[in-house]
Amino acid sequence: MATKTPKIKITDVAAYADVSVSTVSLVLSNKGRISTATIDKVNQAVTALGYVRNTAAANLRTSHSNLIGLVLTDITDPFYTEITAGISEQLEQQGYLLFLAQSNRNPHKLIQCVQSMIQQGVAGIAFSPVREATATVIAMAQQAGIPAVCLARATVNNEVDYIGPDNHQAAVVASKYLIEQGHRHIAYVGGSGESLTRAERLGGFGTTLMQYGLPFKNEWIVEGDNNQIHAAATVQQLLTKHPKITAILCHNPTIALGAIYGVKRSGKSVGKDNYIDQQVAIISFDDIAEATLSQPSLTVVSSPIREIGQQAGQRLLARMKSDDGITQRLILAPQLICRDSA
């Protein structure tokens, strides 16, 4: 009995031509911007291996899909949860569904997710950027001939539609509010030194302090993990070492909720009365439901997060309908929500 010849797969073609599977797919479907040299390599591989394309399956993949790819850095982050709700609201009204994945801030994971989504025939991509992978993702979307929108906490590549918050202005609003309450010794806690969002916020914070002639002290600017326990310990140590601090600007609500415990452990309380040196004001970026339930409730400077998702959905729909090739940037203004912590 003759042995059955193994069926040649598209992955075999990609390996033979030393290109990605998505590149082979784009060449075979005559889509995207592929160089002549690459097209020749793929076609030579197809001939050499005797690859036979499954036309029926290919037609299914290349027909107008009702899927939109959404790749976020962390789907458990309340910021991105709200964005997902916003973009889903817009797309579902037009019959589209989200294909959701997360990159965990890993550039290789982001590229892998987008590649898989393109292979599944998504009609568009929305993604939160990872610095080392953003340009690659933009190029992949362009080659696939689908629109891409960047949903971000911080500004990114100008070659892609961008929708996000005004981090610099949010920090200006928060800083001015604290200064107008009489605070002169203000700290910033949380975020990573590699975070563009943090850099933009610190820019607004530092600019405002300088405007009012107040000190911007490096020892009062502390990085921190997105963890309440770590934040509580960090704030306790900060206030013990620098008891003059009367206000803390927190990178996000998780840090702020931990900071409340840290202030209390340092022998002080959280609140608006900074004149008796026994209270520390806490203000956070972004708003979450728990902010109203904490004791005291959190004062926040919040961006319209759900609207970021809604605007992203609208932009993708517009680009899919008629793409003029012009990138747009939409920066949404922050809002101060006063509660009891500051």
Interval 29-61: pLDDT, tens:
766 677 888 888 988 888 888 776 654 455 444
Q: What is the mean pLDDT of the chain?
A: 89
pLDDT of residue 32: 65
State whether residue 124 is helix, strand or coil. strand
pLDDT at res. 196: 86
d(CA 130, CA 153): 11
Domains 65-165+305-332 and 167-302 share a fold: yes
d(CA 190, CA 254): 9
Question: Under a CB-based contact definition with an 8 Å cutoff, are residues 338 and 296 in contact?
Answer: no
Look at residue 64 in the predicted model and tell me its pLDDT. Answer: 52
pLDDT at 249 over 70: yes
pLDDT of res. 77: 85
> What was the pLDDT predicted at 283?
98
Cα(285)–Cα(174) distance, integer angstroms: 8
Query: Range with the lowest mean pLDDT among 92-101, 215-224, 322-331?
Result: 322-331
Cα–Cα distance for residue pair 339/263, rounded to 1 Å? 17
What distances in angstroms separate CA 60 from CA 7, 29, 66, 271, one per listed residue? 20, 12, 12, 60
Kindly state which CATH superfamily the domain 65-165+305-332 is placed in: Response regulator (3.40.50.2300)
Q: Name the phi and psi angles at 186, rounded to 5.
A: -120, 130
CATH 1.10.260.40 fits 10-61, yes or no: yes
Segment 122-144, tens digit of pLDDT: 999 999 988 888 989 999 998 88
Domain boundaries, given as residue ranges, for the chain: 10-61, 65-165+305-332, 167-302
- The three-point CA angle 66-71-72 to 5° equals 140
Give yes or no for residue 341 having a pLDDT over 90.
Answer: yes
What's the confidence (pLDDT) of residue 315? 95
Report how many helices (DSSP H) and strands (DSSP E) the chain contains, helices first.
Answer: 12, 13
Reported CATH class of domain 167-302: alpha beta
pTM of the model: 0.76
d(CA 149, CA 122): 13
For residues 71 and 150, is the Cβ–Cβ distance under 8 A? no
Q: Kindly report which listed range (10-24, 213-227, 248-262, 292-306) carries the lowest average pLDDT score.
A: 10-24
Nearest to 152 by CA among 141, 161, 143, 140: 161
Query: For residue 195, is pLDDT > 90?
Result: no
